[in-house]
Structure 1
Amino acid sequence: IPVIDDFKQRFGLDDFIVVADSGFMIKRNIGLLRSGGYQFIVGGRIKKVAKDVEQWIQSIPHEDGQYHEKKLENGDRLIVTYSSKRAAKDAYNRNKGVERLRKAYASGKITKDKINKRGYSKFLKIDNDVSVCICEEKIKEDEVWDGLKGYVTNTSLPPSEVVAQYKGLWVVEKAFRISKGTLETRPVFHFTEKRIEAHVCLCFVAYKVYKELERIIGTLGLKISVDTVIKIAKTITTIRLRLPLNDEIITRTMMLTPEHRSLMPLFDHLGV
């Protein structure tokens, strides 16, 4: 909350809504937001709700593009959507996980090192700490949730806007992924405050350049990612020649392969 308060004050924000994934959805966190008078949109843990809410969720028709809303006892709004694409993904991931279980425990025995395995091990039923089998009933129970996604909010925004704002989290997640991966912001191999700040500043500037390149690629309609552009650009050679008679310098960029030539619109736009 102090971080949020400081952020809101520094940037003069009046209309401020906290958006977070379902990992944030614990009573303490939500309570802190309420105590601070903040509005929020968080991913709902729809598999861990009261029985009447669960029955309502299960009664929702499986139709794409529909928003279903229910008022919770504490005054929050629960919005649930269904996606056939998400349902297919959920089923695929579960089947893939269960198939790994079938192979791993084909002998019907479980070893000590696998007892605390997470993920799809929830479909295992363990008897006497040694015998193990796939619990088909639990698989069936899990199937009824395929394609369903919940969102909890105390705002008055329309359901479509609530879902749209939540889906925008991928931008933040991608920013962290690029910063930690492509730009190697972490780990930090510096020890003095000045050098650490300089490192983070350079990485931030690099991220800004990355995003600007991404914007230009989109504007030009190129079906290519920034990472791919960088990878290809590293293989392009530029030759500089100085003419002996008049000292004129001639620069030529060698576009030798089809991949190189695919970047021509980008190079022309940047005046390279």
Structure 2
Amino acid sequence: HREAVEKASAGLLKPLLDQELSVVFYDITTVRIHGEKELGDDLRQYGHSKDVAGTARQFALGVVQTADGLPIAHEVFEGNVAEAKTLAPMLRRLLKRYQLQRVVVVADRGLLSLDNVDTLEALAADEGLAIDYILAVPGRRYAEFTDVMAELHPRLADAAEQSGKESVTETTWQGRRLVVAHNPERAREQTRARRRKIERIEQIGEALAQRLDNQDAGRPGRGRRSTDRSAHRRFHQTVLRHQMSSIVKADLGAEQFRYDIDDEAWTAAERLDGKLLLVTSLEAWDAQAIVERYRSLADIERGFRALKSTLDIAPVYHRLPERIRAHALICFLALVLYRVLRMRLKAKDSAFSVERALEALETVQRHAVEINGEAHTGVSISPEQRQLFQELEVKPPSQANVSA
């Protein structure tokens, strides 16, 4: 059934996609799933959840949508799949389904790897297609851009200060175009938050050192006696909890409790505050257009939220892979209808949101009564509901035999 659905959807969406340039957005989310038993080809795996803190049993759902926000493809992966490994398989399926001449892939931070970039470039060469990409650099790789930011940060900060708004520039990184956007307000927030963390860590470090000094002076205080080793351990745990190990260095090998602040690493971290780093193969687009196009990716996140709230994709209680995939397919089709509703309401400049429209339409009632042995049927529709059917360009249900 899935092949039939995809073939039908390809036919419906073909006019939208068979263009000289087609921009597609791709992202992946996780969906909670229940069950304890394990199967040989089980999609239900434990992985980092995007819904709850920590690890959960789940499957992963990748979705591709157009620049207009219309979902066009999806794929189900194991719950512990690495996001970076899902991009190429999804793109191959997309190219097989649609006769595209050119594709621009826009994807989030979890999908950037040099392997992915190499794969995209190789796939373009193999298929004889123009495949471009806009990929965000994940935060864990920011350390690779220390030298780049040392050069660009003063220019970006000055431009943002003069204009009072975000500044954008570009350079090259490993032979590829790198676009950098600097949001001064976001930078100030991140800088303040980091400084508060470091101040808190230093307060704890000073308290630990003071306790050790008091013990040496014969003033042990309350509680168990501290040692330099226990102080090191507690301090190191605090640093890890605040994710400041690149800046605050606890000397775990020292006989006496001590720590250092790496001022150079601190300065490098502040240079990256408020920055959005995008690696792209697009040469014709200006840097600002690259940033704006990437930020449109946020719309796919809203689709995921709709899947998990309005459309109730989770929790899932299936255990067989084919049933899990069928469940995901039904929810994906519901998301397509959800987005079509949104597009039609927006085109009519409607005051209704999709959620409010669905809530209003839920109260449409069909009646079936028998009077003097004669059956009568009809549908009750309010003026608000009539307006909605008109805005959605959908013929309302028949109101035959319904009295005012």
Distance 1:217 1:10, change over 3 A: closer
Structure with the higher fraction of residues in strand conformation: 2
Paired amino acid for 1:190 = H
TM-score (norm 2): 0.50
Displacement, 1:207?
Answer: 1.0
Show the 5 A alignment for 1:80-159. Answer: 80-83=180-183, 87-93=184-190, 95-96=192-193, 99=196, 107-108=204-205, 109=208, 110=234, 114-117=238-241, 119=243, 121=244, 125-128=248-251, 142-159=269-286
Match of 1:12 in 2: 99
Q: Distance in 2 between matches of 1:92 and 1:52?
A: 22
Percentage of matched positions with identical amino acids: 20
Structure 1 residues 94 and 238: alpha-carbon distance in aligned structure 2, compared to 1, 3 A threshold: farther
1:29 paired with 2:116, answer: yes
Within 5 A, what are the aligned runs for 1:1-272?
1-36=88-123, 37=125, 38-44=131-137, 48-49=144-145, 51=147, 54-60=150-156, 61-62=159-160, 63=163, 64=165, 67-72=168-173, 74-83=174-183, 87-93=184-190, 95-96=192-193, 99=196, 107-108=204-205, 109=208, 110=234, 114-117=238-241, 119=243, 121=244, 125-128=248-251, 142-159=269-286, 160-192=288-320, 195-222=323-350, 225-230=353-358, 238=365, 240=367, 242=369, 244=371, 248=376, 252=380, 265-266=387-388, 269=391, 271=396
- The residue identity in structure 1 corresponding to 2:192 is N
Structure 1 residues 148 and 93: CA distance shift in structure 2, 3 A: closer
Give TM-score scaled by structure 1 length.
Answer: 0.69
- Contact conserved, 1:102 with 1:134, CA < 8 A, in 2? no
Residues 168, 181 of structure 2: 8 Å contact kept = yes
Larger radius of gyration: 2
| Greater Cα shift, 27-36 or 124-133 | 124-133
> Could you list the per-position Cα deviations for residues 162-188 of structure 1 after superposition, in whole angstroms to 9, with x for gaps in the alignment?
223322322333333333444343554
Structure 2 CA distance for partners of 1:242 and 1:96, relative to 1, 3 Å: farther
Amino acid at match of 1:69: E
Label 1:92 to 1:191 Cα distance change in 2 as closer, same or farther (>3 A): same
* Change over 3 Å in CA distance of 1:224–1:55 after alignment to 2: farther
- CA shift digits 1:71-115 (9 cap, x unpaired): 44x4321222334xxx32343355356557766885445467545
1:210, distance to aligned residue in structure 2 (A): 1.3
Distance 1:90 1:252, change over 3 A: farther
Gaps of 5+ in 1: 256-260
How many residue pairs match? The answer is 260
The Cα of 1:59 is off from its aligned counterpart by 2.0
Q: How far, CA to CA, are the matches of 2:382 and 2:103 in structure 1?
A: 51
CA distance in 1, matches of 2:279, 2:119: 15
Q: CA deviation at 1:161?
A: 3.4
**CA contact under 8 A between 1:24 and 1:42: conserved in structure 2?**
yes
C-alpha deviation, 1:55, in angstroms: 0.8
Q: 1:248 to 1:128 in 2, by over 3 A?
A: same
Alpha-carbon distance in structure 2 between the residues aligned to 1:223 and 1:248: 35
Return 33-42 or 43-52, whichever deviates more: 43-52
RMSD: 4.2
Counterparts in 2 of 1:12 and 1:54: CA distance versus 1, 3 Å: farther
Amino acid at match of 2:185: A
8 A Cα contact 2:247 2:266, kept in partner = no
User: Which runs of 5 or more residues in structure 2 are unaligned?
Assistant: 1-87, 126-130, 209-233, 398-404
